[in-house]
Structure 1
């Protein structure tokens, strides 16, 4: 069984989790979040999910 390698190093992992935060925030805003605080909350959830994925993968 061939498992794909994790992204190379800390910069790539930081880009993944910060990108997930930004994408979650933007999607929440575009979907009609009540305010920016709610959108940031959704961003935190996507950040946490991406962090778990990065930690388990690598």
Structure 2
């Protein structure tokens, strides 16, 4: 949980991993896939675009 989305994407790209474990202490909590991270970034970009459109529309 300490690794950011950007860091995880960088690790996956550099090491050619498609999945990373999510670990708290010594316990496996889950697995995150590159698709999960890409979908998160797409959602973030859509939210930013929406906020900018709203700002422009209301001046």
- Do they superpose with TM above 0.5? no
TM-score normalised to the size of structure 1?
Answer: 0.42
The structure where helix makes up a greater share of residues is 1
TM-score normalised to the size of structure 2?
Answer: 0.42
